[in-house]
Amino acid sequence: MEEKIVLRESTPADSEKLGQFFYEIPTQALLDVKIRREIDFFSLYRRLQQKFHNYILEETNAFQNNQILGTASFLLQDMKTEKEVLKTAYACDLRVSHQRKAVLNWSRHFLPQLQKLIATEKVDHFITSINMESMQAINAFIRTKQKRSNKPLYELIRKFNLVSIHGFYPLLFKVNPFIKVGFLEKQDHKKFIRYLSEKLQTLDLVPTAMTEDLEKYIQDSLIYSFKNFVVARDAKDNIVGVCYPLSSSLLQEYFPQEYNQQSDNFRQFLKFASFFGVGRKLTRPFSRTQKDQTLNFQFLHFLFFEHPEVFQSMVKFTYNQSKQNEFLIYPYEQSMYTHRPPIGTIHSESPYALYEIRTPDAIDAGIAPLKAKLSKNIWLDGYLF
């Protein structure tokens, strides 16, 4: 029986089989997690309202009993920097079988696909996000033993941390009583749009759809709603902070498989903290229970504030508004000291990094790397699902 390994673009008919393969392979770091999509595997990309290409590495045979060996997606967006608009492709949802033939063939097929996207979609830069505690990903993509002309190069753009907040230490965490926090009210709509638009101007790689017409962007969004924005006001009723708590369940389901020693110690501490009512438990891993249970949290998107006391007040409000089995997460660049976890929070931090995937042709042609075009902090909200 003759077998052949090919890389092809997926179709809607691949959705169920692709979802099963995607779920079977966990992301590995301090906490191994499996991710499950809805029946329609591509529904996440549609809710994000981004053009996408998903590819399948497949082993075919004469009996049409094809086996998926790997998959990856590219989400296409126009992003704004201070001087120009760039077409970016965010490489995400990479899953490759541990079989040797899968790893070798994925590398061989990956570069031609990048070159095809450059030609057909006019992509300027490819971006991907990597958990720096995932040694498997780092060894496979970043710390390659030698630079080959048939493989893409991963070049660091920025480092950032992903913070998770699980509770508050009594007496150590305090909020300013003169800062009022609540959900966006109708009379503040115009003031809110103006405030948020000004804040987005301080960042690079913000989607142009936001910068050109923020109000329309939110109105047309399938994941954001004006009424769910959190707004902080000072004593004079000026807006001094905003954020948007987005439930993980609206995007996809996360199932913890196994905690390493460090993360399991933190989980045990949270059990102790929850007993005294100052923290919330983490979901038990599949390795202990032999039962899949979702990990529930809220992403803090559009997180802007004037000073740390505002940040503390918004964190406390969104935490209290969330469910008893949820915690909060948000990213910040390591240079943004104001965004470090507030004093008195029970939290953890994981190091991440944004990398540009560069083709040998782009390097040989002397095309400037993405990091050379950036002068501000980066919009990170789109790299965390």
pLDDT value at residue 314: 98
- Helix, strand, or coil here: 177? coil
Q: How far apart are CA 14 and CA 42, in angstroms?
A: 10
Report pLDDT digits (tens) over 211-231: 999 999 999 999 999 999 999
Q: How far apart are CA 286 and CA 258, in angstroms?
A: 6
* Below-50 pLDDT ranges, the chain: 1
Side-chain half-sphere exposure of 145, counting CA atoms within 13 A: 0
**Spatial contact of 59 and 66, defined as CB atoms under 8 Å apart:** yes
Two structure tokens written together for 45: 């990309």
How long, in residues, is the chain?
Answer: 385
How many other C-beta atoms lie within 10 A of the C-beta of residue 288?
11
Q: How far apart are CA 122 and CA 207, in angstroms?
A: 16
Among 356, 350, 369, residue whose Cα is nearest residue 142: 356
Residue 132's identity, in one-letter code, is: M
Residue 376's identity, in one-letter code, is: K
Contacts of 311 (CB under 8 A, 6+ apart): 241, 305, 338, 339, 342
Residues forming beta bridges with residue 33, ordered by sequence position: 27, 256
Residue 83's identity, in one-letter code, is: K
Backbone angles phi, psi at 303, to 5 degrees: -85, 105
pLDDT value at residue 39: 79
Q: What is the pTM of this model?
A: 0.93
CATH code 3.40.630 for 164-351: yes
Domains 3-158+353-383 and 164-351 share a fold: yes
Domain ranges, ordered by start, for the chain: 3-158+353-383, 164-351
pLDDT value at residue 384: 76
Q: How far apart are CA 174 and CA 155, in angstroms?
A: 41
pLDDT value at residue 4: 85
Q: How far apart are CA 71 and CA 91, in angstroms?
A: 11
What radius of gyration, in Å, describes the C-alpha atoms of the chain?
22
Contacts of 246 (CB under 8 A, 6+ apart): 223, 224, 298, 299, 300, 301
Superfamily of chain region 3-158+353-383: Gcn5-related N-acetyltransferase (GNAT) (3.40.630.30)
